[in-house]
Amino acid sequence: MATPAIPLSTRLSARGLDGVTLLVLPAAIVLIALFVYPFGYGLWLSFRPKDGTLLGNYGKFFADPFLYDTIYTTLALAVPVTLMNLFLAVPVAFRVRLMRHQRLLTTILVLPITLGTVLVAEGMLNYFGPQGWFVRALTSTGLFNVSQIKLVHNYWGVFLSLLITGFPFTFLLTLSYVTGIDPGLEQAAATLGARAAERFRHIFLPLLVPGLAITFCLSFVQAYSVFPSAVLLGAPAGPTRVISIAAYQAAFEEYDYSMASAIAMIMGAVQLVVVVAVLAARNLFYRGPAAGAKG
Amino acid sequence: MTAVSLPSASAATTGPSALRSVGSRLWIIAVWTTVIFFIINLLGIIAAVVTSSFATRWLRSWLPSGYTTRWYVSAWEEFQLHDVLLVTFQIVGAVVMLSGLLGVPAAYAMARREFPGKKALMLLFLLPLLVPPVTFGIPLATVLYQSGVGGTMAGVILANLVPTVPFVILVMIPFIEQIDPRVEAAARVFGAGTFKMFIYVLLPLLMPGILASLLLVLVRTIAMFELTFLTAGPTSQTLVVALYYAVFAAGVRAVQSIDAMAVVYMVTTLIWLVIALRFVNPTQMVTRAKRQPAH
Amino acid sequence: MTLLSSFKSLRLEGVSRDFGVVNALRDLTLEIKRGEFVALLGPSGCGKSTALNCIAGLLPTTRGQIMLDDRRIDTLPTEDRGFGMVFQNYALFPHMTVRNNIGFGLKMRGIPKNEAAPRVEEAIRTVRLDTQAHKLPGQLSGGQQQRVAIARAIAIDPPLVLMDEPLSNLDAKLRLEMRQEIRRIHQSLGCITIYVTHDQDEALSLADRIVVLRDGAIRQVGAPEDLYARPAHLDVAEFMGFRNRINGRVQARDGNRVQLTVAGTTLDGVVQEALTGDTAIAAVRPDDMVPVAPDAHGIDTVVEAIEYRGRDFFGQARSKTGDELFFRSEQRLAPGAAVRLGAEPHRVLVYPGA
């Protein structure tokens, strides 16, 4: 029995493949060419070092303290800053969620994100510099003298810049998670006798942890890839020689693209390890909707 | 997504226990003090740049000894701002147009069709937003330089498309999803062909979303440092990269001149930010695209 | 727990709540006895939810006081009042199992586990969720979530259970079932239940006493039968289903009974609220309005539409003065037919005209 042939186009569209679906192709091709391929190429290139061995670049990286110390240097900046941003963002988000006119505040906070790290770095060189307003204000209290305070061209310069550009980012992300929690849940907990601290511990925190884990990951990844402020505000030869500086120098100062790719891969791998660890921990918590379950 | 409408009854509550203890009052004061301290410093950083750019001489004092606009003239010449601005607008314009042309159709397909491999595509569109630019920028720059477009304006445009196309897609998907597909069906029933349907029905409905996402792309591309920095040559620098080199080589030129350039950059960004904020909520600058993987 | 064993009544004394210049709640004074089921009824924005939130402590009051016997409670924060509350969207904790949701209040009171467990199990049995106790709220149906919300509120043995439109998210069939359930639970507990709703059927079937609110103030308090048969004001009447409003002039009065002239014909009724002038408005339920003989007292109308609803017909007509009237009919009347509509005099409630 010959069944009437169903045209190929009909069979394809039954699986969701038709003219409209094809619209996704140009964007997908561009991203494969400009994102997936370079990544794969970089990975391949990293195993083709100048000395011809397979793992030469990686061996060199982990043998040279000038290179492998950058991992520690970067983590020593990124982890404390991210945690600090998160610890500041949560209580502030909890107060701001009750505000009716949040927009002015969120607009001010979006400024450093929009202006970007380079401008903030230039501003900070003025403001936190030895003759800047901040140091002036501190010394005018009489508690400090100028020689005691050094806030630029060292670890703290980079730390502060990551705080100033990172906090708004962390905060806005946290705020969106906090406002996603049904305020009715807190009211319900209150009617059942839970005090403010208990409401936070038993209701908000468990519901917020998955979102905070995501926030931590995104904020951490940004801080970990710090580049312009580490150069401009830090001591790029020493205490703030972060891993992206090492990668940049390999590529554009030594023109060793193979080594640069290897460093970029190591950088990506370290980020991945931290992100995967945090996300794995997140899986231990409730992850459903936090808007008060509705059937 | 981020806007939460509270039930009217609780809109005016200040949390479940409207009757506050001394401890919670202190806590509230502490939180707001932190916020205000942060904002004062943030505005101080920006004000320091602006003040310095108008200063005749500013050493060892709270305010400059006099004011002048001549630094803008000298910055304009020294840094060839005319050329830099022209290049910036050409690059930004091309990035905005291309990411709209690539991103909107792809978002339409993603929002309207279920097809095999959709999850993998979604991942492809998410990753460039989650992986920081420095990490994929170095292998990308390597590929671009090897294929001959590195250092040219085309290379800078291609590199900037990597985060902006996914950004447009992720902003547009929920926007398209909330447009009832029956509207399109109705247009077809009344005899509109695909082209007419697109021009008269779809485009007007999508316009607010397209406008919002492209304005955000515009603001982000002006401020995008890392990718442009890694792929730009001397003739394809955008304003933010030129600013970086100026700050990096500080000491060569007068600080005020660099600050004048910084103000030009700031004004360029802020004009577009102000326009963008008429159409989008500030929290969308970070959360729209970033919140997707949370679920 | 001492609250429950001894208390006799809840008193609201001049409770008011302002939002800026808006008086959301004005001078609410009410005494509720132990064991009573009171419904706060009114259209949206009438202040009923505000009243409930003030009692729960979720909103501070602007003036007045709330007393549980002789103890003033409006100065206590929500968590110290010890009332049970059922929220409109249930507000179940999505990350806790049904059992932990229900046990949350006992845990917060620091009641030891071995003492709390049997009480939780009892609450679970009361709402018949024995087989669902280990699930998360997201895995339950709407009706089951509703039961969890109720069980969570009653597990702490509250002197007062507050319910904020708890059935509005359920479908019609489930709503009827849950009504009986709520009534049964209330009777088994012997506490006070305050129930907020905009649905008059719900209020009539559940409550011992109904408080009708409008613009933040009490319009009428009474037993369901009183409210249904004798609304004190025209707006309460309209809210209770008196859909027909007929404008007329007072022609004759004899005590409570009154005769109105409406476009040349006569309508008999009873006065509900002291008449102030010679104009009056009569309110009649559609089911009491029927076609009458052409020489009987009534109103002359023209039929505009008629529809069959099973036992009889439901009609819509327009009087000579332009009033739109709804009526019940045994026969199918043709649209355009002239018909005189009348009602038993005690079903025609007369209020002062505008």
**Alpha carbon distance A257, A267 (integer Å):** 15
Q: Which CATH superfamily is domain C2-235 in?
A: P-loop containing nucleotide triphosphate hydrolases (3.40.50.300)
pLDDT confidence of residue B30: 92
3-state secondary structure labels for all residues of B214-255 = HHHHHHHHHHCCHHHHHHECCCCCCHHHHHHHHHHCCCCCCH
Mean pLDDT estimate for chain C = 90
pLDDT at B203 over 80: yes
> Are C2-235 and C241-352 in the same CATH fold?
no
Judging by beta carbons within 10 Å of its beta carbon (0-12, 13-18, 19+), is residue C260 exposed, middle or buried? buried
In-domain check, residue A79:
yes
How far is residue B146 CA from its own chain's centroid?
29
How far is residue B201 CA from its own chain's centroid?
29
pLDDT at C1 over 60: no
CATH topology of domain C241-352: OB fold (Dihydrolipoamide Acetyltransferase, E2P) (2.40.50)
How do the domains of chain B map onto residue ranges? 24-68, 79-294
Helix residue ranges per DSSP H, chain C: 2-6, 48-56, 78-81, 98-108, 113-126, 142-154, 172-189, 200-206, 224-229, 234-239
Contact at CB, A34 and B41, closer than 8 angstroms: no
3-state secondary structure labels for all residues of B66-123 = CECCHHHHHHHHHCCHHHHHHHHHHHHHHHHHHHHHHHHHHHHHHHHCCCCCHHHHHH
Indicate the DSSP class of residue C334.
P
Q: Which residue has the higher pLDDT, B186 or C30?
A: C30
* Residue type present at position B272: W
pLDDT at B205 over 60: yes
B24 touches chain C (CB under 8 A): no
pLDDT digits (tens, 9 = 90+) for A109-151: 888 888 888 999 999 998 998 888 998 888 888 777 777 788 8
Q: Which of B102, B114, B265 sits opposite A119 (nearest CB)?
A: B265
Compare all CA atoms of chain B with the CA of A269 and give the residue at the minimum distance.
B135
pLDDT confidence of residue A109: 87
**Among B34-43, B171-180, C219-228, whose mean pLDDT is lowest?**
B171-180
Quote the domain boundaries for residue A171.
72-258+265-282
Rounded average pLDDT over B257-283: 88
How do the domains of chain C map onto residue ranges? 2-235, 241-352
Q: Which CATH superfamily is domain B79-294 in?
A: MetI-like (1.10.3720.10)
Q: Which of B10, B269, B277 sits opposite A187 (nearest CB)?
A: B10
pLDDT digits (tens, 9 = 90+) for C176-192: 888 888 999 898 888 89
Hey, is C300 helix, strand or coil?
strand
Residue in C23, C59, C87 to test binding to B, most B beta-carbons within 10 Å: C59
**Among B65-69, B105-109, C137-141, C312-316, whose mean pLDDT is lowest?**
B65-69
Mean pLDDT estimate for chain B = 84
Residues of chain A with pLDDT under 70: 1-4, 16, 288-295
C328 strand-pairing partners: C314
* Residue type present at position A180: G
Q: What angle do CA A202, A203, A205 make, to 5 degrees?
A: 80
Contact at CB, A126 and B48, closer than 8 angstroms: yes
Residues 6+ apart with CB under 8 A from C273: C232, C233, C234, C351, C352
Contact at CB, C79 and B19, closer than 8 angstroms: no
Contact between residue C39 and residue C193 where contact means Cβ atoms under 8 Å apart: no
**Alpha carbon distance C215, C46 (integer Å):** 5
- Dihedral sign of CA atoms A291, A294, B3, B8 in order: negative
Mean pLDDT estimate for chain A = 87
**Alpha carbon distance B155, B153 (integer Å):** 5
Compare all CA atoms of chain A with the CA of C90 and give the residue at the minimum distance.
A292
Compare all CA atoms of chain C with the CA of B13 and give the residue at the minimum distance.
C59
pLDDT confidence of residue B20: 61
Compute CA distances C153 → B283, C161, C192, whole Å: 37, 7, 13
Residues 6+ apart with CB under 8 A from B255: A126, B52
Contact between residue A33 and residue A39 where contact means Cβ atoms under 8 Å apart: no
What is the pLDDT confidence band of residue C223, given thresholds at 50, 70 and 90? very high
From the CA of C151, how many Å to the nearest CA of chain A?
Answer: 12
Among residues C179, C163, C171, the alpha carbon closest in space to that of C85 is found at: C163
Among residues B206, B249, B223, the alpha carbon closest in space to that of B164 is found at: B223
Rounded average pLDDT over C248-273: 90
pTM of the model: 0.82
Helix residue ranges per DSSP H, C190-282: 200-206, 224-229, 234-239
Contact at CB, B12 and C79, closer than 8 angstroms: no
Indicate the DSSP class of residue C92.
-
Whichever domain contains A217, its CATH number is 1.10.3720.10
Q: Which of B121, B266, B294 sits opposite A115 (nearest CB)?
A: B266
Residue B150's φ and ψ, nearest 5 degrees, are -60, 140
**Alpha carbon distance B295, C304 (integer Å):** 55
C319 strand-pairing partners: C301
Exposure string (b/e) for B67-90, b if CB count within 10 Å is 16 or more?
A: eeeebbeebbebbebeebbebbee
pLDDT confidence of residue B181: 83
**Alpha carbon distance B45, A168 (integer Å):** 15
Query: Cβ contacts (< 8 Å) between A190 and chain C: which residues?
Result: 57-58, 77-79
What is the pLDDT confidence band of residue B285, given thresholds at 50, 70 and 90? low
Rounded average pLDDT over C161-185: 88
What is the pLDDT confidence band of residue B202, given thresholds at 50, 70 and 90? confident
Exposure string (b/e) for A100-112, b if CB count within 10 Å is 16 or more?
A: eebeebbbbbbbb
Q: How many structural domains is chain A composed of?
A: 1
What is the pLDDT confidence band of residue C207, given thresholds at 50, 70 and 90? very high
Hey, is C126 helix, strand or coil?
helix
Q: Which residue has the higher pLDDT, C150 or B21?
A: C150
Contact at CB, B12 and C59, closer than 8 angstroms: yes
